[in-house]
Amino acid sequence: MRKIILVNLIFLMMLIYLFTGGVSARKLEVWVGNSQEQIWMKKAVAAYENKTGIKIDLNVICELEQLEKLRLEEVAGNNIDVVGWPHDDIGKAVSEGLLTPIQEYISTKYIKDNFTDKSIRALSYQDKIYGLPYSYEALALVYNKDKYNEIPDTMEEFIELAKTKTDLQQQQYGFLFYHTNFYYAAPFLLGHGAYVFGKNEDGSYNINDIGFNNEGGIAGAKLIKKFKDEGVVPQNIQKKQVVHLFAEGKAGAVLVGPWRRNRFKEAGIDFAVSPIPKLSNGKSPKPFVGVKGYYIPHKSDNKKLAADFIKFITNAKWSMKHYEMIGSIVPHKRVINSPKIKNDEFSRGFLIQAQNGILMPNVLQMSVVWNPVNKALDFLLDGRISAKKAMALTDKMITRNIELIGY
């Protein structure tokens, strides 16, 4: 009799193990960004809890601070099951042993069947897929329809038109962008032929091949300086000012991401989206394409459940709700190919621009790129160095940073 009871008990424990994915508690610790993301996430969490009975402990933490906080939580021995941030930090996180490949719990076939190739590449590192995407972003030109009937095809024409709508004394601007920040300056640098890292024959990044100090990089830097020299963009303009001035009706066009949509709608601006005008080389500017993904920390006690939760909140239904509730464009194939997206001029405009864009490198060395480019742009725009010297300095500082850190 005791033997029968023992066998039944072992069988019951096996069922519990299989049902819960080998976890000790049916609860997940989940982090979500402190932007509008949490509005959608709270709805998705409620639906998942109702469906599964699993409790979700949701913590609101800035996406850009999650990697550092995850390091601290793991050192403290605290269990975190789901995190989410932009893809360019994947290389750093994986190299530190902080993430588990999600393809160990969700089939590669499912991932490839449901999400775009570019988003999968963004969330992959060293041939392993680490996350599922919840946002697909690139910069585009948003313009006030009361100030522009349409945006010219070429950058030269656009600059001339923007100058006619600019009066710095009256704080009226034809065009604004955060020109001392690499993310916002990238379309003009990369569009002319600069690049962050070259590629090896197998498609991986060659961190020894840094590509700012070339003809394309110098041409892009000259264009960025031209916006300032010809009185279009003020020297010390900041990101918040760009958004605020457009929302106040004082800027005719701005270079921003799709996440600004609700702010401009609430301000009552009649706006539209346009591809950034073509450069003097006849090519389109190339903004960075960013993909945000949800990942499973390596030390999670509940990896199988975490993967199931991520799969749920990024499925076609909840990806579409993500778009409907806060305007996020999720690179789920059924979402971006849906009539709702195709008939939405705003979202379609950003998707078109993203097609011309370049994925931000997700190697760990990318973390030491941003500051050197920003510093070089600062020196360029305040007249301390020429475009040629700015790009040479950029290559030199990035190379030096990589050597110092030992990557």
Give me the domains of the chain, ranges plus CATH numbers.
Answer: 2-137+290-358 (3.40.190.10), 140-286+369-405 (3.40.190.10)
DSSP string over 218-242: HHHHHHHHHHHHTTSS-TT--HHHH
Of the candidates 325, 197, 315, 174, the one whose C-alpha atom is nearest the C-alpha of residue 261 is: 325
Report if pTM > 0.85.
yes
Whether the CB-CB separation of 71 and 78 falls below 8 Å is answered with no
* Alpha-carbon span 187 to 194, nearest angstrom: 10
| Sequence letter at residue 25 | A
- Kind and range of the H or E element at 390? helix 387-405
Whether the CB-CB separation of 206 and 384 falls below 8 Å is answered with no
CA atoms within 13 A on the CB side of 232: 24
Whether the CB-CB separation of 137 and 257 falls below 8 Å is answered with yes
> Using N-to-C axis directions, what is the helix angle for 215-229 and 387-405, rounded to 10°?
120
Backbone dihedral angles phi then psi of residue 132, each to the nearest 5 degrees? -115, 140
pLDDT at 81: 98
In SS3 terms, 362-382 reads as CCHHHHHCHHHHHHHHHHHHC
pLDDT at 407: 65
Whether the CB-CB separation of 356 and 144 falls below 8 Å is answered with no
pLDDT in tens, the chain (407 residues): 444 444 444 444 444 444 444 444 589 999 999 878 999 999 999 999 999 999 999 999 999 999 999 999 999 999 999 999 999 999 999 999 999 999 999 999 999 999 999 999 999 999 999 999 999 999 999 999 999 999 999 999 999 999 999 998 899 999 999 999 999 999 999 999 999 999 999 889 999 999 999 999 999 999 999 999 999 999 889 999 999 999 999 999 999 999 899 899 999 999 999 999 999 999 999 999 999 999 999 999 999 999 999 999 999 999 999 999 988 999 999 999 999 999 999 999 999 999 899 999 999 999 999 999 999 999 999 999 999 999 999 999 999 999 998 76
pLDDT at 26: 84
pLDDT at 60: 96
